[in-house]
Amino acid sequence: MTKKTITTTSILNHSKFSLRNLILPLNSLLFALLTACSEPAIQKLEGPAQGTTYHISYWSELPADTIAIKTSIENELTIIDKLLSNYRPDSTIEIFNKIENTDSQEVGSEIVSLVKIAQVVNEASHGCYDLSIKPLFDLWGFKGDTLTIPDEAKLLTTLKQIGMEKLVVVDDTHLRKQQVDLKIDLSSIAQGYSVERISKVLEQQNITQYLVEIGGELKINGTKPGRQPWRIALERPLPEERSMQKVITMPKDSPMAVMTAGTYRHYFDDHGQRYSHILDARNGKPVTHNLVSVTVLISDPTIADAWDTALLCLGQKDGMQAANAAKIPTLFIEMQGNELIESRSDALNNLNTLTIK
């Protein structure tokens, strides 16, 4: 499971876009289509975050202090980085990873809540999605720029470190390892969690009409001025292209997150064979199926972030079964020959609050 953008300073990715893919500043690759509108005007904020960038669009009929809002957003991103980043030796999750014993360790309610979500998705994906994938990701060289294809013996040894069942939730603030060398990577869920946290920052500033995007993962609430819906473009999931595949017209009266995981940005080619950054935690190897993109559309970006990685890991057939069983609105895009074939989960077909064209 990999996901998003892989960089040496990122929280992420390397296990979702890192194993939730891979990727991105454009990894999931979604970008907002904002049209001109009358007053009040849409305000825009942007900056670096988590090895990629953030973009926020918002408006309010009441006066809003843009400088104070931006400061609050960047302070929140710093707090999240200190909590979840696998690239900071002083982060809470890395301190937990370095402790090699089976005692109960305090990690805080935020990390425990993320682990609880991941446990549900891990079970629903039959172990394909797994927060303990980090040693495998490092083994394959996906943290850097050089592919390292492991031999079978090394792969089997590393697989012994993997397994969500080896991580125990003790209580609302404590975790415990059942195996001392267990290491946790939250990158497959961190961007979605970050989107939600930044959304809450805006709401605390009395901003209720907004679009929050980090590395292509986003959430909207409300509308644009004039009760016009937010419209989101999904990128065509091909390595060589930067064109539009679909446009989503978002709900006007309910929040909605759009989370996309894909295999089409981060990969290695070696001796004529392509190796995806999406790893299946069950066998420790890059996925080989033809599913290239998964987009999940639900109100909670944290849950959506975990699910898009898991469904991409599973592939179209098994992913569709899992999405239908969990009632997750999902758009799958599979490469068959030279054609992109779309399919929708039952929950997406029944979702009448938005349109995808």
Q: pLDDT digits over 301-316, tens only? A: 999 999 999 999 999 9
The closest of 164, 160, 156 to 124, measured between CA atoms, is 164
23, β-bridge pairs: 5
Q: pLDDT digits over 44-62, tens only? A: 999 999 989 999 999 999 9
Number of domains comprising the chain: 1
What span, in angstroms and rounded, lies between the C-alpha atoms of 267 and 111?
29
For residue 12, what is the domain's CATH number? 3.10.520.10
Across the range 110-126, mean pLDDT stands at: 98
The closest of 162, 205, 169, 176 to 59, measured between CA atoms, is 205
Highest mean pLDDT among 5-9, 78-82, 269-273, 274-278: 78-82
What span, in angstroms and rounded, lies between the C-alpha atoms of 65 and 110?
28
Q: 81-106 burial, b for 16+ CB within 10 Å, e for fewer?
A: bebbbbbbeebbbbebbeeeeeeebe
What span, in angstroms and rounded, lies between the C-alpha atoms of 340 and 235?
12
Tell me what the pLDDT averaged over the chain comes to: 88
The closest of 272, 310, 305 to 291, measured between CA atoms, is 310
Can you give the residue range of the structural domain that contains 150? 1-357
Is the distance from CB of 50 to CB of 190 less than 8 angstroms?
A: yes
Across the range 189-217, mean pLDDT stands at: 97
Is the distance from CB of 2 to CB of 262 less than 8 angstroms?
A: no
- What is the maximal distance between C-alpha atoms in the chain? 64
Confidence (pTM): 0.88
What span, in angstroms and rounded, lies between the C-alpha atoms of 123 and 286?
20
pLDDT value of residue 268: 65
